[in-house]
Amino acid sequence: MKLLTSTFLRGIILIGLTSTGCASRSIHSDLTPDNQVLVRQWTRVSKTEWLAGEKGSEHSSAVFYENTLIFGNSSQGVQSIYPGLNLVRWKRDIPQGVMSRLQVQKKSLYFGGGDGNLYSLNADTGEVQWKYPLRNPIVSRPTISGGRLFVTTSDDTLYAFDAGTGEWLWHYKRRTSQDATVLGASEPLVDGEEVIAGMSDGYLVAVSVQDGKLKWDKKIHSGIKFTDVDAHPILWKQTLFVPSYDGAFYALGRAGREVKWKFDSGASKGVLLHDDKAYLPSSDGNVYCIDPNKGRTLWSIELDGGVPTDLVIAGDLLVFGSSDRYLYALDLKSGKGKFRWDAGSKSGFSGNPIYDEALKRIYVLSNAGNLYSFSITPIPTRVRPLGRTQPYEFYKAL
């Protein structure tokens, strides 16, 4: 069984180059890990010391399920913890770990394994409910709609399954791009009778929900290097927002796919829409705040190095990591930097942070396999023996 295609191997190499090409700068040395903005609460190590020292990345991201937090990594598998207490509820080993972001609906957890299988686990117990051998790494987050699960693999195949049983329903295979591509795959968007996803040949495609037959495609790649359209398409006010990796960020009319405007910076991560503003974590190493009606820049910030993760809003903060080393928090309205925390050289972030509104905490998994918890509510400093102040807790893998 050949799990790693030549395109996939090229992707691994290229994503490493793009992640580290702008390393070792410190253009925001004025930003500090200010504990009046974010307070580090605890760290949970999910890799052994030997694996944590390897150069790699963690593309999976945590999800909430009832009062638990579930996350996976590329070496061991999946864990469910109680985040307030940082206690393990259950663990499930997955051969070659977890490659994709996680999706949870009702009592089921869905994700792609590094072994090429699509998994459904019981979110209460971690027991495997079903798995399907796709024989290709799944790096996109599955989409659930109408009792069906839709997922895109790294070889440009869009699948549909019965979410409850894992029964294969149909698949649409796109001819894989022969150009160099990056590691990634578009999370499908379901709108009405269409499933919409990006492909590595630079096209946005829509297929029928019922049978997977192609309904339309639209070329949006305009760059000179990587052709990928890996970002999750977003629908807002009958406009589709989607960037290509190194090309541009497009606003397309939903009905006719006409270009309403184009912003000359691409991304592999999803665009965040909030309060009539579009936030773009660009592959050029910047985060942009854009007017979604006209495509003009409202503000932007350049990272110290690497490329940004997906973005998350936590109160009045915009929080994200860089693939190089830092976790950032900006003022949501102005884009002014308020916080920067150093995870260590080449130990940055690929998966996105998530925000727990109930506990006012942010959780993010680093490329070294460490799951961090930060509070956005300042906690009074407690003086400890020998002058220790503001302690945090550090947990090793069980």
* pLDDT band, very low/low/confident/very high, at 386 (cuts 50, 70, 90): low
- Give the distance between the most distant pair of CA atoms in the chain: 68
Amino acid letter, residue 116: G
Which residue type sits at 349?
A: F
pLDDT for 388-397, tens place per residue? 555 455 544 4
What confidence score (pLDDT) does residue 45 get?
Answer: 86
pLDDT per residue as tens digits for the range 61-81: 889 999 999 999 888 899 999
Between residues 306 and 17, the one the model is more confident about: 306
State the architecture of 6-395 in CATH terms: 7 Propeller (2.130)
Tokens for 265? Answer: 């910076």
- The ranges assigned to domains in the chain are 6-395
The per-residue pLDDT for 6 is 37
Higher-pLDDT residue of 184 and 337 is 337
Q: Which region among 43-47, 68-72, 225-229 has the lowest average model confidence (pLDDT)?
A: 225-229
Mean local confidence (pLDDT), 146-156: 92
The residues, any chain, with a CB within 8 Å of residue 126's CB and separated by 6 or more, are 78, 80, 90, 91, 92
Q: Is residue 340 over pLDDT 50?
A: yes
- Asked if residues 142 and 159 have their Cβ atoms less than 8 Å apart, the reply is no
Q: How far apart are CA 263 and CA 261, in angstroms?
A: 7
Q: Which amino acid is at 334?
A: S
3-state secondary structure 272-290: EEECCEEEEECCCCEEEEE
pLDDT at 339 over 70: yes
How sure is the predictor about 229, in pLDDT bands with cuts at 50, 70 and 90?
confident
- Neighbour order of strands in the sheet with 108-112: 103-105, 108-112, 117-122, 128-133
Q: The tokens 């409910």 sit on which residue? A: 129
Place of tokens 């009958």: 238
Query: What is the residue-wise DSSP string for 242-268?
Result: EE-SSS-EEEEETTT--EEEEES---S
Least confidently predicted of 142-151, 176-185, 275-284, 330-339: 176-185
Give the pLDDT of residue 51.
53
pLDDT at 181: 53
